[in-house]
């Protein structure tokens, strides 16, 4: 019997395809493929994902078997098929970009990711890889690392039954064009250290 290929869902949440976030995501894809994963790239902006909640995707607390919109159901299948989920995102206003938060709101939904004692995400491995503009010293002095890590590990992953969860924040990721090549290389090297 041939062993099943492991699948990674690589989620990217940045509008510019040449951003540092996109470059970190490309590095993540290389690393995952090098480790033997089949990578399903989910670029939320490139795919035109609409983060706004709709009536069709609003949780129905009385019906854990609710069928959601076709687009959301497709995203649920992609999530369910993944052994590992890697989410690469810029840290904006000390949290997730709206498109990523909306994806979680609409896709990590009742009856799929939580509710009724079941989760299709239980047993998966999850890596949150956030790019923060502030230096580590400034970010941690404000306690933003603790708040963001708690939200991602407990408020989202833990609530959905994911126990193997890691948060890695890459600091000092100033806007591209204002940093030299050495700085960009340093951020990519830090990303390498965080990746599987």
- Whole-angstrom distance, CA of residue 172 vs CA of residue 23: 15
- Angle of helix 98-107 relative to helix 70-81, nearest 10 degrees? 90
Q: Closest Cα to residue 11, out of 103, 94, 73?
A: 103
pTM, rounded to two decimals: 0.91
Contact criterion met (CB below 8 Å) for 193 and 129: no
Confidence at residue 118, expressed as pLDDT on a 0 to 100 scale: 77
| Domain spans of the chain, in order of start | 7-194
User: pLDDT digits over 36-61, tens only?
Assistant: 999 999 999 999 999 999 999 999 88
Answer whether residue 175 shows pLDDT above 90: no
> What is the topology classification, in CATH, of domain 7-194?
Rossmann fold (3.40.50)
User: pLDDT digits over 80-124, tens only?
Assistant: 999 999 999 999 999 999 999 999 999 999 999 998 777 899 999
Helix (H) / strand (E) containing 56: none
Neighbours of 176 (CB within 10 A): 15
Return the structure tokens found at 145: 């690392």
**pLDDT band with cut points at 50, 70 and 90 for residue 183:** low
């Amino acid at each position: 019997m041939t062993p099943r290929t492991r699948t990674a869902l690589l989620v990217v949440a940045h509008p510019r395809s040449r951003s540092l976030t996109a470059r970190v995501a490309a590095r993540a894809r290389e690393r995952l493929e090098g480790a033997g994963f089949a990578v399903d790239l989910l670029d939320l902006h490139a795919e035109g994902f609409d983060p706004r909640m709709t009536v069709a995707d609003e949780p129905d607390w009385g019906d854990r078997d609710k069928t959601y919109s076709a687009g959301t159901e497709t995203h649920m299948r992609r999530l369910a098929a993944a052994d590992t989920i890697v989410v690469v995102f810029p840290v904006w206003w000390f949290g997730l970009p709206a498109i990523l938060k909306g994806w979680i709101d609409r896709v990590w939904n009742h009856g799929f990711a939580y509710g009724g004692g079941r989760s299709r995400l239980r047993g998966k491995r999850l890596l949150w890889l956030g790019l923060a503009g502030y230096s580590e010293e400034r970010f941690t002095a404000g306690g933003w690392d603790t708040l963001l890590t708690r939200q991602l590990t407990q408020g989202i992953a833990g609530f959905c039954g994911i126990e193997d969860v890691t948060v890695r924040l890459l600091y000092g990721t100033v806007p591209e064009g204002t940093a030299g090549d050495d700085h960009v290389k340093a951020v990519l090297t830090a990303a390498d250290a965080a990746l599987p």
